[in-house]
A and B are shown apart, each in its own frame.
Chain A
Amino acid sequence: MKTTFRLLIFLLLALPYQSFAQNDYIEVTAPGNRQLKLAVEAPRNLDTTTGNTVATEMADVITFDMNMSGIAQAETRPQSALSGGRLAETAFLPWTAAGFELLVRGEYSVKGDNLTVEYRLFDVVNQKMMTARRYLGRTKDLRYFAHAFADEIMLALTGEKGCFTTHIAYVSSQTGNKEIVIMNWDGHNLLQLTRNGSINLNPDFSPDGREILFTSYKRRNPDLYKRALSNTVEVPVSSRKGLNITGTWSPDGSRIALALSKDGNAEIYTLARDGSHPIRLTHSEAIEVSPVWSPDGTRIAFVSDRLGKPQIFVMNSDGKNVRRLTTAGAYNVNPRWSPKGDKIAYARMQSGGFQIYTINADGTGDTQLTSSGSNENPAWSPDGRFIAFSSKRGGEAIYVMRGDGSGQTRVSRGKGSATQPAWSTR
């Protein structure tokens, strides 16, 4: 009932410029590409000419998302008499004269608690509309709708939808205890998930985005739990003797990889999704933790100190063919496989702190991405464009950067320390 009550209806306008969308994608992976200049005009309120703070907030969301994407240099612009009246009457020349190549315009209407917004993206050089969307919902959804349209802009410009409507879960000490919280990717809409007053660690989203796996000390042992985002029940997955830590879902959601110490010391195992049928993958006297799956599910990267200090290793997901991935640096941890499978992000301890690196899955191309403060626990966005991480620069907060290390921006706003981010699926 409630779901029906809150159901959002989207009217999708046609996309008359599919030829553009399919053929003329911008090569965004090539370094040194010139950024497109994008004006985001504050949407026009169809009911009144006052109350533009909401309009500016909507425009600022799109501007923030597009600036973070790295493919556009976006700017929020006030409504201009020069830009034409209604969306259908958009004038292009004033925008090209101001040096812009792309323009987002919008119109919205508020009736009580109901919000209707329509956004359009224009190619002002070629004087044509590239994409348009209309969203019907509640006033509280205004940021969500702006993020959703930024996703569409990414689709129109690159051929791949953005991930600006996704979430980041992390461990927050804002209550005095370490609890799992979740926020929008840009730090807004913070919501506390666990409230057990214990120590909760290492959240990981299920591939369908509906459940979170985490370790909690709530029953006086580091046990693995899962809970749905839609309710508060914390279901025990693995409560074996000793450590039940660093659990991650396989890409098809059928199994969970984790570290268990039930047989004496921390080893990598996989479990069925209900926690049954453990399969032991590693056999060594050393510490093995932090298993993460390759996106095709055939390989698992993990941390082992079998050579003395923690290093990252890769093995097949049946435990065979173990090989060392990182060869530089004395202490490498926190592996996370990129969604496209080509890279593994990790954290290296150096000169007293950690820095984020990426390395190709074949061990080549080891690249340092961060250098300011101490930075740990990288987590890829589902499109692989961004990496979230926790950073100590003053306090300890969640930051987001592009996959090449550029655009490092603090996103978490809560009190207390913010660590161990996990990025939701789309």
Chain B
Amino acid sequence: MRKRMMLLLAALSMTALVAGGCANKEAVKTEEPAAATVKVEQLKPAQQPGAKSEEPAAPVENRVAEAIKPAEAQTGKAVEEVSAFEPIYFDFDSSDLRQDARNTLTKNAEMLLKSKPATRIKIEGNCDERGSAEYNLALGERRAKSAMQYLITLGVQPERLSIISYGKEKPAVMGDDEAAWAKNRRDEFVIEK
């Protein structure tokens, strides 16, 4: 015990001796990441039900749950109405409109001009799971834009059309074969409220 105290004292005095030297500066630096870590860990109780500081976390989770419901409801409604407008499909890493896509777009344009003249639609561009997520966000946008430009050339007013890309984040079907990929490389036409 005494021996250990002596060692500690010796160690501490040595630290004091090099105070101002680089070793000491380093020691100060050492503690910054520790503080950062503690900050991160402070958030932890929000995740652990039963923990003491859980009270603020619970309302947050409720809010999230409420927020999800209307979103889901709206998506569900959208899906119903989407069926009025057929989706179009693309080749891999391409935003060129194939003949089948042009035919579908012609039908969609007729519907927009004749039976639904007041409807606004959002064109949602999507990709299959193979490309990179980041690049696919841009590719999905290019696909949505291809459809929008074609609808405009068919006479649909530009102000009735908007676009969004979901990249590969919203696949229509799950699966990792060409059948699934082909269904996911698509534009969907969602009626906007």
B37 within 8 A of A: yes
- Chain B residue at smallest Cβ distance from A265: B142
Shortest distance between the CB of B125 and any CB in chain A (Å): 11
Chain A residues, Cβ within 8 Å of B10: 14
Tell whether A327 is near chain B: CB-to-CB under 8 Å. no
Is the beta-carbon distance between B43 and A191 smaller than 8 angstroms? yes
The 8 A CB mask of B138-155 against A (1 = contact, 0 = none) is: 110110010000000000
Contact stretch, chosen from A73-81, A238-246, A274-282? A238-246
| Cβ-defined contact, B42 with A334, below 8 A | no
Closest residue of A by beta carbon distance from B74: A220
- Distance between Cα atoms of A266 and B141 in the complex (Å): 9
Minimal beta-carbon separation of B64 from chain A (angstroms): 5
Alpha-carbon distance between A77 and B14 when the two chains are bound, in angstroms: 31
**CB-nearest residue of chain A to B44:** A191
A53 within 8 A of B: no
The answer on a CB contact under 8 Å between B60 and A195 is yes
Q: Is A305 an interface residue (CB 8 A)?
A: yes
A265 touches B67 (CB 8 A): no
Whole-angstrom CA separation of A167 from B44 in the bound complex: 14
Mask, B33-44, CB within 8 Å of A = 1, is 111111111111
Say if the beta carbon of B30 comes within 8 Å of chain A. Answer: yes
B132 touches A347 (CB 8 A): yes
With a cutoff of 8 Å between Cβ atoms, the chain B residues found around residue A11 in the complex are: 12
For chain B residues 166-193, which have a beta carbon within 8 Å of chain A?
Answer: 166, 169-170
How many residues belonging to B are interface residues under a CB distance threshold of 8 Å?
53
A246 cross-chain contacts in B, Cβ below 8 A: 134, 137
Q: How large is the interface on A (under 10, 10 to 19, 20 to 34, 35 or more residues)?
A: 35 or more
Q: Are B142 and A210 in contact (CB under 8 A)?
A: no
Complex CA distance for A166 and B33, rounded to whole angstroms? 8
Q: Tell whether, in the assembled complex, residue A222 and residue B137 are in contact, meaning their CB atoms are under 8 Å apart.
A: yes
Give A371 to B14 CA distance when docked, in angstroms: 51
Task: Report the minimum CB–CB distance from A292 to chain B (whole Å).
Answer: 11
Cross-interface CB contact of A243 among B15, B34, B64, B141, cutoff 8 Å: B141
Give residues of chain B (27-61) contacting chain A, Cβ–Cβ below 8 Å: 27, 30-31, 33-44, 46-47, 60-61
A352 interface residue (CB < 8 Å to B): yes
Q: Are A2 and B133 in touch, CB under 8 angstroms?
A: no
- Say yes or no: A309 contacts B132, CB within 8 Å: no
B18 interface residue per 8 A CB criterion: yes
Interface pair A229/B34, CB less than 8 Å apart = no
Structural contact, A197 and B68, CB atoms closer than 8 A: yes
Q: How far is the CB of B77 from chain A (nearest CB, A)?
A: 15
Is B116 interfacial (CB-CB < 8 Å)? no
Given contacts A191-B43, A195-B60, A261-B141, contact A16 B38 (CB under 8 A): no
Complex contact A221–B40 (CB within 8 A): no
Complex contact B137–A195 (CB within 8 A):
no
- Provide the bound-state CA to CA distance between A420 and B134, in Å: 10
By a CB distance below 8 angstroms, the chain B residues around A222 are 137, 164-165
Using CB atoms, name the residue of chain B closest to A221: B164
* Residues of chain A with a CB closer than 8 A to B15's CB: 12-14
Interface pair A16/B14, CB less than 8 Å apart:
yes
Task: Check B130–A376 contact: CB distance below 8 A.
Answer: no
- When C-beta atoms are compared, the residue in chain A nearest to B17 turns out to be A14
Beta-carbon contact of A245 and B137 below 8 Å: yes
* Residues in A neighbouring B14, C-beta threshold 8 A: 14, 16
Considering the chains assembled together, what is the distance between the CA atoms of A10 and B29 in angstroms?
Answer: 12
Choose one: A2, A18, A178, A333; the contact of B134 (CB below 8 Å): A333
| Beta-carbon contact of B135 and A290 below 8 Å | yes
For B137, give its contact among A140, A210, A243, A334 (CB under 8 Å): A243
Q: Is the CB of A376 within 8 A of B60?
A: no
Question: How close is B65's CB to chain A, nearest CB, in angstroms?
Answer: 8
Interface centre among B15, B34, B164, B166 (most CB of A within 10 A): B34
Q: A88-132: which residues lie under 8 A (CB-CB) from chain B? A: 88, 132
A252 to B34, CA, bound (A): 22
State which residues 342-378 of A face B: CB under 8 Å.
347, 349, 352, 354, 376
Q: Does A202 contact B (CB under 8 A)?
A: yes
With an 8 A cutoff between CB atoms, is B79 at the interface?
no
Complex formed: what's the CA distance from A6 to B42 in Å? 9
Residue among B15, B40, B165 with the highest chain A CB neighbour number at 10 A: B40
Whether the pair B141, A195 counts as a contact (CB closer than 8 A) is: no
Contact present for A199 and B166 (CB under 8 Å): yes
Name A287's contact: one of B23, B60, B142 (CB within 8 Å): B142
Q: Is the CB of B137 within 8 A of A289?
A: yes
Q: How far is the CA of A305 from the CA of B130 in the complex (A)?
A: 16
Pair B4/A259 contact, Cβ less than 8 Å: no
Q: What distance in Å separates the Cβ of B2 from its nearest Cβ neighbour in chain A?
A: 11
Q: How far is the CB of B21 from chain A (nearest CB, A)?
A: 9
Q: Is the CB of B34 within 8 A of A196?
A: no
Residue contact A376 to B132, C-beta cutoff 8 Å = yes
Show the binding face of B for A, using Cβ within 8 Å.
3-4, 7-8, 10-12, 14-15, 18, 23, 27, 30-31, 33-44, 46-47, 60-61, 64, 67-68, 71, 93, 130-135, 137-139, 141-142, 145, 163-166, 169-170
Not counting A14-B15, A195-B61, A230-B43, a sample of 10 additional A-B residue pairs whose C-beta atoms are within 8 angstroms of each other reads: A6-B42, A8-B31, A191-B44, A222-B165, A243-B141, A266-B137, A290-B135, A310-B135, A331-B131, A352-B130
List the 6 shortest-distance A-B pairs measured between CB atoms, nearest first.
A14-B14, A266-B138, A333-B132, A287-B138, A197-B68, A13-B11
26 CB contacts below 8 A, A to B, read: A3-B35, A88-B4, A148-B30, A167-B37, A191-B40, A191-B43, A192-B47, A197-B68, A199-B166, A201-B137, A217-B166, A222-B165, A243-B138, A243-B141, A245-B134, A246-B137, A259-B138, A265-B141, A266-B138, A266-B141, A287-B135, A287-B138, A309-B93, A333-B135, A349-B131, A354-B132
